[in-house]
Amino acid sequence: MDKPVLSIRHISKSFPGVAALQDVSAELCPGEVLGLVGENGAGKSTLIKIVTGAIQPDQGEILINGTTVAHADPFDLISLGVSAIYQEFSLFPEMSVAENLFYGQELRAGPFLKRKEMVHQSRQLLERVGTNISPEKLVKELSVGHQQLVELAKAISRQAKVLIMDEPSAPLTTHEVEFLYQAVRKLSAEGVAIIYVSHRLEEVFDLCSRVMVLRDGQHVETGPVSDFDRGRLIELMVGRTLEQEFPPGMVKLGDVRMEVRHLKSADVQDVSFSVRSGEIVGLGGLVGAGRTETVRLIMGADRLISGEILVDGVAQSVRSPQHAISLGIGLIPEDRKHQGVLLGETIRFNTTYASLGKFSQAGFMDNQKERKAVEAAMKVLRVRATDMEQLVGNLSGGNQQKIVLAKWLETDADILIFDEPTRGIDVGAKQEIYNLMRELSAAGKAIIMISSEMPELMGMSDRIIVISDGCSVAELSKQEFDQARILHLASTGSREAQKEAEAAC
C-alpha cells in the first residue's frame, strides 16, 4: 500500500453543548476515493472543516505526507495541497472561466496580467477534469453542471493532493452527475486522494473504493465498499434498522378538496389536476418542467394569467399568499433556506410566523399561548433542538423542514404542498418526513408533492400527475406507476399533447 497522503489521528472537537467529533481517525492514500457518510449532525462537516483548517480540533492531529500540521488555516492547507469544493459555488458569475480559475493567483508580468497564458493553462486544467468548455466564457453562461466542473478545476489548480468534495452532486441533474463522475475518476487515476461526502448512497457505491461511516460524532466503521450494501450502510448511519421506507397509503379517500383547471402563467402552459382529502398526489416531471411554478400559482405567489383554482368546489381567485393561507393552503418550498424558514430567527418565531393572528389579541402577542403551541408542535413533529429559542439556522435540514411543516400546521392548513420535501435531508430524517406526510394524509389532509427522486415519487404518491413543458400530460393511478413510463412521458409528453391540441383545432 502507498504511504498515506493524509492521516487523521484521534481527532476530537466539542462545541458548547455538543461533542461534534470524538476520537476519529482515518487515513487516505493517493488515488483513493473515500466515501464519508453519516446523517446530518454526525460530524461530517466538522471533520471537513478540521481537515481544511477552517476550525481547529480540541485534540488529535492531522498529518500531511507524514508531517504534522498544527494550527494551520485554510490558506496554509491549500498550499499544502488540501482543497475543497462544496455544493454551493464560490464562482464569480460575471467573470470568465479563466479569470475565476486564476482569481487570487493571477499570472502576471509586473503589474500586467498574462491573459493568454492564463487561458492556455485554464484549458489544461479543464481538460484534467474532462471538459472542453472555453476558458473565455463567462461563468454565468455555463450550466450548473459545468460550473461544478470549473469549481473542481479551481480546486486542483493549486496542485491539490487531497480533494474534499462536500455534496458535490446536490445541485446537479442526473446527466450532469455523469460528468462529475468522469472528472472524479480521472483525478483519482492521476493520484489525487479524494474524500467524497454525499447523501446519495448510490454515488458512494459507484465512485468510492472505501467508505467511512460517522454517527453522532463517532467513527462507526470503515471498510472497502464491497463489504457493504445499501441496507447495511443505512443501518450503520442511523444506528437502527429502518422500517419499510415508504409507509402505505390510505384505503379510503375523502372528497375532492382542491382542483385546478387549465392553469396558465408566464411559466406554466396548461395544468389541470385535483387532490382529495387523505390523498397524496405526486407531481412528476423533469427539472424546469413548471412544477414549482404551478404550486406557486396555487399559493398565490405568482400571477395567474388564466385558469381556475377550486377549493371545496368553489372557484377562488388566489391573489396573494395571505389569501391562499386563508383558504387553508400551505407550501413547504423547495428552497428551504431562502423561502421556507427565517434562518436568523428562533424556532418559536418561525413556528407561529404564518399564524400570528391566532397568537395575538388586538395586535399584542400572547406569549404564553405561543410557547404552549410551539412546545406541542415540537413534540408532535419530534423536532430535535435544545429549546424553542434555538435559531433555526443552527438546525439540521430535517429539523428545519419540520419547522416549516409546523408553521403550516399552526395555520390549520389542510391542503399541503410539499416541493421536494426531502431535498438535502439525510436518510433517517427522510423516513420521519415520509411518516409525517402519511400521518397527515391519514388525518384527512390533502397533499400535493413535487419530487424529482423517482423512488420517492412512486413510493409516496397515491396518484401521479406528469408535467412536461408546463403542461399536465398524464395521470397515473398506483397500479400504472412505472419509472420508464413516467420518464418517457416527462420528456416527450408535451409534444404528444401538442399534437393532440393541434388535431383538436
Partner 1 sequence: MLNILSKYGIYAALIILILVFSLASEAFLTQINILNVLRQVSIVGICAVGMTFIIITGGIDLSVGSMIGLSGMILATLVSMGYDPLLAFGVTMLVGSLLGLLTGGIINSIGIPPLIATLGMMTILRGMAYVISGGLPIYGIPDSIKWLGQGYVAGIPVPVILMAIVFVVGWIVLTRTVFGRQVYGVGGNDEASRLSGVDGNRVRYYVYFLGYALATFAGIILMARINSGQPRAGTNYELDIITAVVLGGVSIMGGIGSLPRVFAGVLIMGILANGMVLMNVNEFVQWVVKGTVLLAAVSLDRLAHRAKGHGSN
Q: Which residues bind partner 1 (CB under 8 A)?
A: 15-16, 18, 20, 41, 43, 45-46, 49, 54-55, 299, 301, 320-322, 324-325, 331, 333, 338-345, 349, 353-354, 356-357, 360, 363-365, 393-394, 407, 411
Q: Of the two residues 2 and 412, which places its CB atom closer to partner 1 in the complex? A: 412
* Distance between CA atoms of residues 8 and 53, nearest Å: 13
Q: Residue 136, CB half-sphere, CA atoms under 13 Å: how many? A: 5
Q: Of the two residues 65 and 339, which places its CB atom closer to partner 1 in the complex? A: 339
Q: Is 134 exposed, middle or buried (0-12, 13-18, 19+ CB in 10 A)?
A: middle
First to last CA, the chain: 71
Q: Of the two residues 142 and 417, which places its CB atom closer to partner 1 in the complex? A: 417
Nearest distance from C-beta of residue 338 to partner 1, angstroms = 6
Q: Of the two residues 59 and 477, which places its CB atom closer to partner 1 in the complex? A: 59
Nearest distance from C-beta of residue 325 to partner 1, angstroms = 4
Nearest distance from C-beta of residue 321 to partner 1, angstroms = 5
Nearest distance from C-beta of residue 505 to partner 1, angstroms = 38
Nearest distance from C-beta of residue 97 to partner 1, angstroms = 29
Nearest distance from C-beta of residue 46 to partner 1, angstroms = 6
Q: Of the two residues 288 and 357, which places its CB atom closer to partner 1 in the complex? A: 357
The 8-class DSSP code of residue 3 comes to P
Q: Of the two residues 9 and 337, which places its CB atom closer to partner 1 in the complex? A: 337
* Distance between CA atoms of residues 193 and 83, nearest Å: 11
How far is it between the farthest Cα atoms of the chain?
77
Q: Where are the beta strands (DSSP E) in 208-255?
A: 210-215, 218-224
Nearest distance from C-beta of residue 20 to partner 1, angstroms = 6
Q: Of the two residues 286 and 299, which places its CB atom closer to partner 1 in the complex? A: 299
Nearest distance from C-beta of residue 42 to partner 1, angstroms = 10
Q: Of the two residues 180 and 214, which places its CB atom closer to partner 1 in the complex? A: 214
Q: Which residues contact 398 (CB under 8 A, 6 or more apart)?
A: 40, 425, 426, 428, 429, 430, 432, 433
Q: Of the two residues 99 and 370, which places its CB atom closer to partner 1 in the complex? A: 370
* Distance between CA atoms of residues 480 and 181, nearest Å: 33
* Element of type H or E holding 273: strand 271-276
Q: Secondary structure of 280-307 in the HEC alphabet?
A: EEEEECCCCCCHHHHHHHHCCCCCCCEE
Amino acid in position 184:
V
Q: Secondary structure of 103-133 in the HEC alphabet?
A: CCCCCEECCEECHHHHHHHHHHHHHHCCCCC
Handedness of CA 149, 151, 155, 157 (dihedral sign): positive
Q: Which residues contact 234 (CB under 8 A, 6 or more apart)?
A: 201, 242, 427
Coil/strand/helix, residue 261? strand
Coil/strand/helix, residue 320? coil
Q: Residue 493, CB half-sphere, CA atoms under 13 Å: how many? A: 25
Q: Of the two residues 20 and 471, which places its CB atom closer to partner 1 in the complex? A: 20
Q: Of the two residues 178 and 412, which places its CB atom closer to partner 1 in the complex? A: 412
Nearest distance from C-beta of residue 80 to partner 1, angstroms = 21
Nearest distance from C-beta of residue 16 to partner 1, angstroms = 8
Pick the closest to residue 8 from 74, 42, 52, 73 (CA basis). 52
CB 320 within 8 Å of CB 296: no
Q: Of the two residues 253 and 301, which places its CB atom closer to partner 1 in the complex? A: 301
Nearest distance from C-beta of residue 476 to partner 1, angstroms = 29
Question: Can you spell out the DSSP letters for 125-160?
Answer: HHHHTT----TTSBGGGS-HHHHHHHHHHHHHTTT-
C-alpha cell at 81: 495541497
Pick the closest to residue 218 from 241, 195, 237, 204 (CA basis). 237
Nearest distance from C-beta of residue 320 to partner 1, angstroms = 7
